[in-house]
Chains A and B, each alone.
Chain A
Amino acid sequence: MPATTKSAQRQRKYTKSNYQEFRQGYLFLTPAIIILGIFIAAAVLFVVYLSFHKVNLFTGEYTFVGLDNYTRLLGDGMARTALKNTLSFAVIVVPIQTILAMIIASVLDSKIKGRYLFRTIYFLPTLTSSSALTIIFMFMFSVTGPVNNILIRMGFLETGINFLNDPSFALKVIMVMNIWSTIPQYTTMYLASLQDLPGSMYEAASIDGADSIRKFIYITVPYLKPITTYVLLTGIIGTLQMFDQAYIFSNGSGGPANSTLTVSLLVYRYAFGTQNAMGYAAAIAILLAVIIMIVSFTSEKLNASESDY
C-alpha cells in the first residue's frame, strides 16, 4: 500500500522529460484535432447555428428566426411522410438483416462442404457499390424484368407489377435491396466471432441432449451478443440515414407519391434543390440526429439489459 501511494506521488511530480513527452504527444495530436475540429466539431456547430436562421447562401444573408424552422417542421406533412418512411424502413430492415446474418453465419460456421466457397459468394454483394446495385435492382424489378417474368411463369401473376412506380411497392423493393446488400458484412462479423466459440460448448450441449436449434438459441445467440449490439447500432444508423438508394431509385424526387422519401433525401432537397432553404434543411438534419441518438441508445440498453449467459 505505501509503495503504491509513493509511486502515485512520484507520478504527480513530472520531470522535464515527462513534459517533453507531453508536448510531443500533443504535437502529434494537433493535426488530427485541427482536422476533426474543423470538419466535425465546427461543422456540427454550424449546422446548429444554421437551424436557427433563415439562410440565403448566395447573398450570405443570415436572419435569426429563433425556433421558426423547428415549429414549421411540426406542421410539414412532407417531413411527417419522410419520417414515417424512414422509421418503417428501419423497423423492418434492421431485425431482418440482423437475424438473417446470424443464421447465415452459424450455417457457414458449421462443417458443411464447400463453406469457403459459400463464404466468398455470400460476401460478394457487399463489394458492389450501392449505386450499381440500385440500378441492377431497378432492372430486376422493372415491369418486364426477371422478377415479374418469374412470377408470371409460375402463374402467380397475370401481368407484371410495376414495382418501381407503385407507391405500395417502391419502398419495399429498396428494403429488399438494402437487406440483401448489408447481410454479408454483418455475416462476416458474426462469423469472425464464431471462430472463437469453443466447440466444447456445443459438445457439452449435445451430451445434455440439445438439438441444433436449441444449441443455436442457447449458445450461439448469447455468445454473439456483443457483436449483435454493434450490428444493431450500425444497422439503425445506416437505415435511418438511408439516402443513396432512395435518391437513385426515385431520381431524387422521393416518388412515386412520396413513398421513397426519406429524411435524408428531404434534407438534400431543401438544401440543394431550387428551394435554397439551408436553415430549414439544417433543422431537419438535427431532428434526424436526435432521433438516431434516441433510438440507438434505447436499443443498446434493451440489448444489454438481458442477462448474459
Chain B
Amino acid sequence: MKKILAWAAAAALALSMTACGSTSSGSQLAGSTGGEGGEGGYAGTTLTVGIWGGNDQEAAAINQVKADFEALTGCTVELKTYTDYNTQIQADFIGKTAPDVFYVDGNMFPFYSQLGVMEPLDPAEMEADKYYENLIGAFTAEDGTLYCIPKDVSTLALYYNIDLLEEAGYTADDIPATYEEMPEFLSALQAKMDELYGPNQIAAMTYNQDLSRNIPILTNGGAEICDAEGNSTLSNPDVVANLEFMLNFVHEGLWKTPADMGLGWNGEVFGTGKAVIMEEGNWVYGTLVKDYSDINFGVKTMPTYKGVEASMSFTVGYGIFSGSENKELAKEWIKYACGIDGMNTWCSDAGCLPSRPDVAEAMDVESDPVWAMHSEMTSIAIPWQMEDTCSIINSAYQNFLPLAVSGEMSAEEAMVQADQQANSEIANAG
C-alpha cells in the first residue's frame, strides 16, 4: 500500500517539476538523438511496454515519451498498464505473453533476474557507465549480468513544518542532525504540541513499520537482516539492538505511524499539519505543493545514527522480456527512455530524480532546494534491495513488529517470530 501510495504520489510532482524543468525539456526534444534507429525504421512494428499505473501526471509523462519515441522510430508503442503489477506480470511471464519491455522495481530485481525472464543487456551498448554506479549495480545479477537500465530514482529526506516549529519556538536549525539527539528534542517538541493543540492531535514525527524505511537504522554497524542464502536474520543481536533503539522512539510516544494518526501515509499526515517532522521520498514534494499548498515546509538531510549518514533510494528500471520478438526495438526504447531526452521528459513531468548525472545537470536539479536535497541523498542512500526473498522477509517483519511496538513481546521475541515465519516460508518456496 505504501509503495502504491508512493507511486501515486510520485506522479503528482509534475506541476512543480514542469515549473522548473520545462524550459530544458522543451528545447531538447527538438534536437533529439535519432541516430541508429532512423526515422521510420520500425514502421509497422508494435512495441508493448509494461508499466504500472500512476496518477495523471505520470500517465501524461509516459505518453509524452511514447509519442516522442513513435515519432523517432515510426513504430507503434502500446502501453500495457497493470494494476497489481508484480502479480499480473508474473502471470504474463508464465503465459509467455509479457510485454517486450517492462518496469522492474529495484527490490523485485533479484527475484526476477533468477527466473530467466529477462534478456541480458550489453553494458557497452547500453552505455551503462553513463548512469550512477550504485543504480547499475542494483540491476546487475550476482553473476555480473546486467538485465535492466535504471529509468529514475527517488530518495528519502527529512521534511519539517516551518510554522509548527516556530509556534513551538524552534527553527529548522534546532532539529538535531543525529538520531541520538532526537529523543530529547522530540519530547520537548511533542510536549509543546500537546500543550498548544491538545494531546495526540499533532505528532512530533511520523515513521513507518516497513523495512524499506527502517533499514538505515536497523543495518547500522553492519548488522545483517538477511544472509547470503536469503534467509532472514532479523533476530541477530546487532539488528535487535538497533531495533530497540528505534522502538524507544515509539514507546516514548515520539514517533507515530500514519495509521496511529488515523491517516493513510506520511504525506497526508504532514500535509494536513498533523506532524511536525517526517522522512519521505521526493514523490511527496508535488503532493505538498499541489494538494497541501498552505503547508510551509523545508527539507534537511536524514539524521545520522552512530555517525553514519544514510538514506534509502528506490529505483525502477526497464528490462526486456527474453521471449520478446522485438528485442532490437525494445533496446531502442530503453536507449531513448533512459537517454538524455527521454529521461528528461519523464523525470521532469512525472517528478523523480534522473538516474544519470548528465540528465540531472540538464534538468538543473540543483536550482530547487528540495530537489537538490533529494539529489544529495543519492550518494549516501542504501538501495532498497535485498536477496530475492526481500518481500517475504519484509512481510514477516511488518507482521510481527506491531507486537514489539505494543509491548506484548520484546524486540527480540518479535524478531525471532519474524525469522521463523520468513524462513519457513522461504523453505517452502519454489
Taking beta carbons and an 8 Å cutoff, which residues of A are in contact with B?
Answer: 54, 56-59, 72, 76-78, 142-145, 159, 162, 164-167, 251-258, 269-270, 272-277, 280
Contact = CB atoms under 8 A, between A and B. Distances in A.
Contacts of B402: 165-167, 255-257
A78 B424 contact: yes
A100 B390 CA distance: 45
Interface in B149-178: none
Interface string B392-429: 10010011101100101000000001001100110011
A257 B414 CA distance: 9
A166 B55 CA distance: 32
A272 B92 CA distance: 12
Interface of B: 1, 86-87, 90, 93-94, 108, 111, 115-117, 200, 257, 259-262, 388-392, 395, 398-400, 402-403, 406, 408, 417, 420-421, 424-425, 428-430
Contacts of A257: 399-400, 402-403, 417
Contact of A144 (B111, B257, B262, B421): B262
Given A257-B399, A258-B399, 14 more contacts: A58-B90, A58-B94, A58-B116, A59-B116, A76-B428, A78-B424, A143-B260, A159-B200, A166-B406, A255-B402, A256-B400, A257-B400, A270-B429, A274-B389
A256 B262 contact: no
A280 B428 CA distance: 7
A58 B391 contact: no
18 contacts: A59-B116, A77-B420, A78-B421, A78-B424, A143-B262, A144-B262, A159-B200, A164-B259, A167-B403, A252-B395, A255-B402, A256-B399, A257-B417, A270-B425, A272-B87, A273-B391, A274-B429, A275-B430
Contacts of B425: 78, 269-270, 275
A276 B429 contact: yes
A162 B262 CA distance: 10
A77 to B, nearest CB: 6
B406 A255 contact: no
Contacts of A276: 115, 429-430
B208 to A, nearest CB: 12
B422 to A, nearest CB: 10
Contacts, number: 93
B398 A255 contact: yes
A275 B392 contact: yes
B420 A274 contact: no
B424 A76 contact: yes
Contact of A275 (B108, B408, B428): B428
A58 B93 CA distance: 7
A121 B396 CA distance: 42
B12 to A, nearest CB: 21
A163 to B, nearest CB: 10
A254 B399 contact: yes
- 7 nearest CB pairs, A to B: A144-B262, A276-B430, A275-B429, A255-B399, A256-B402, A253-B395, A58-B115
Given A255-B398, A256-B403, A142 B392 contact: no
A165 B111 CA distance: 29
A167 B424 CA distance: 21
Nearest to B93: A58
Contact of B117 (A54, A58, A167, A258): A58
A113 B39 CA distance: 77
Nearest to B1: A251
Nearest to B417: A257
A145 B259 CA distance: 11
Contacts of A269: 425
Contacts of B1: 251
Contacts of A57: 94
A144 B261 contact: yes
A284 to B, nearest CB: 10
B399 A277 contact: no
A256 B398 CA distance: 7
A21 B406 CA distance: 71
A294 B180 CA distance: 58
A78 B427 CA distance: 12
A260 B400 CA distance: 13
B421 A274 contact: no
Contacts of B408: 167
Contacts of B108: 274
Nearest to A164: B259
A162 B392 contact: no
Contacts of B257: 165
Nearest to A281: B428
B275 to A, nearest CB: 14
Nearest to B395: A253
Nearest to B199: A159
A162 B259 contact: yes
Contacts of B117: 58
A56 to B, nearest CB: 6
Contacts of B403: 167, 256-257
A258 B398 contact: no
A167 B409 CA distance: 12
Given A59-B116, A159-B200, A167-B403, A277 B259 contact: no
A23 to B, nearest CB: 37
B111 A274 contact: yes
A143 B399 CA distance: 19
A253 B424 CA distance: 15
A144 B90 CA distance: 38
Contact of B260 (A78, A145, A162): A162
